[in-house]
Each structure stands twice: as C-alpha cells, then as structure tokens.
Amino acid sequence: MGRGRGWRRLKALAELKFRMICRALSKARRFADCATARRSFDGAATARHKAQAMLRLALYQPDIPQNTGTMLRMAACLGLAVEIIEPAGFDVSDRHLRRSGLDYLDHVVITRHRSFAAFEAWRAGAGCRLVLATTAGALPYTAFAFRPDDCLMVGRESAGAPEAVHAAAEARIVVPIRPGLRSLNVAVAAAMIAGEALRQVAGLEI
C-alpha cells in the first residue's frame, strides 16, 4: 500500500516537472529576444514587420499601463506594429503588458528600445519617417499626408516628448481641440491619428 502511494507521488512529480519544462520551452520560443529587445507575440506578424512597410505606433516612455494596454489593443485590431521607447513609468515586462493588453497581445508585434538613441539607430536602418503627435504641432492630423512606412509617435502622459524628440521628428501634427482645454487622452489621440493614417494609406473605411 505504501509502495503504491509512493509510486503515484513520484509519477505526479515527474508529470509536473515535465509540464514545467514544456511550459518553459514554449515560453522561450514564443518570447525570444532580438538585439533591440523585441517581444513578438505573433510569428506571422513578425514576418510582416520585417518584410514590408507598415504603419507603426511609437510610445515614448509611457507612464500609465492602462493607456498602453488600450493602445496595444488598438494596434492589434488595426494592424499596427508597436515600438516602445524606454524607460517607461511602469514595468513593461511581458507579464505586465499581457495583464493590461489581455489576449490582444497575441496579435501585435512589439519592439522595445532601451532608449530614444537606440530607437533612432533602429529607425535609421528601417528608413521610416517619424511623425510626432504633439499639442505644439501646427498641422492638423487630417491635413497631413501620411505614408505607409510612417512611425506615429505619442509622448508620455505626464510630460509629452522632450526637445530632442521634437528635433528628430520629420513632422509634427496636432489633434485640434476646443480652446482652453489642455489635451486629449493619449490613447484617444493615438487612435484618431492611426485611423486617419490608415484611411489614407490603406483605404480603411471609417
């Protein structure tokens, strides 16, 4: 009787260890890092990210995880790649991003850049134009001519984007709002701009 219980216990432990190894191997394959700390949640999307020009949404040092989760969900639904420029105001590990972005992260390609300088080095190789959304922009986003390889950047919630980012941007656009009000929520502004960009370059009906 005791030998039977011992055998069942050893078998259960072996099965548990096997499941843990399989989970670790699956996670390692799924969340493999690249030189710029890419986290790819969709293999097909990774191929598209590398092989063709596509609109990208860049988040400059985001502050609020809920806003980031909303923008990641929007990017997944609209087919945008996402660039996250660190440091962020919260933990942008896979676990925390998945908590805020739910299962939509399975359908978006996310690339993390350790600094704005690292992002600029990547952008020079990718050849995409940096379009900065800012309340200091002079051109309404609806009057701007977007291109399929544009990188649409929004600043951090607490402070926007610094002068170095403004200087690096090839274009600065604004979402017009009523006088006397400060700004839209960053996720709302990103969705409005992304929708207009996709309407122009991809024929999205909105």
Angle between helices 65-78 and 186-202 (to 10 degrees): 10
- Would you mind telling me the total number of residues written for the chain in this entry? 206
pLDDT of residue 137: 82
Mean pLDDT value across residues 127-156: 95
Q: If we measure between CA atoms, which residue out of 152, 155, 187, 154 comes closest to residue 170?
A: 152
pLDDT of residue 182: 86
Mean pLDDT value across residues 187-198: 96
State how far the Cα of 45 lies from the Cα of 58, in Å rounded to an integer.
Answer: 17
Q: Does domain 34-202 have CATH number 3.30.420.40?
A: no
pLDDT of residue 105: 79
pLDDT in tens, 17-39: 555 544 544 443 333 333 334 44
Q: Band the pLDDT of 167: cuts 50, 70, 90.
A: very high
Mean pLDDT value across residues 165-185: 94
Q: Is the model's pLDDT at 203 over the cut of 60?
A: yes
Per 3-state DSSP, the chain is made up of helix, strand and coil in percentages (nearest 5) of: 50, 15, 35
CA 97 to centroid of chain Cα atoms: 9
Please give the backbone phi and psi of residue 167, each rounded to the nearest 5 degrees, phi first: -70, -30
Q: Band the pLDDT of 202: cuts 50, 70, 90.
A: confident
State how far the Cα of 134 lies from the Cα of 155, in Å rounded to an integer.
Answer: 7
Strands (DSSP E) found in the chain: 38-40, 56-60, 81-85, 109-113, 130-133, 139-140, 151-154, 171-174
Q: Band the pLDDT of 96: cuts 50, 70, 90.
A: low
More confident residue, 31 or 186: 186
pLDDT of residue 65: 87
Lowest mean pLDDT among 103-117, 142-156, 158-172: 103-117
The answer to whether the bond into 65 is cis (omega within 30° of 0) is no
pLDDT of residue 113: 96
More confident residue, 204 or 61: 61
3-state secondary structure of 113: strand
pLDDT in tens, 43-92: 334 434 444 568 999 999 999 988 998 999 999 999 999 999 999 988 77
pLDDT of residue 89: 86
- String of DSSP letters for 39-80: EES-HHHHHHHHHS---EEEEES---HHHHHHHHHHHHHHT-
Domain definitions of the chain by residue range: 1-30, 34-202
What is the pTM assigned to this prediction? 0.73
pLDDT of residue 82: 95
pLDDT of residue 153: 98
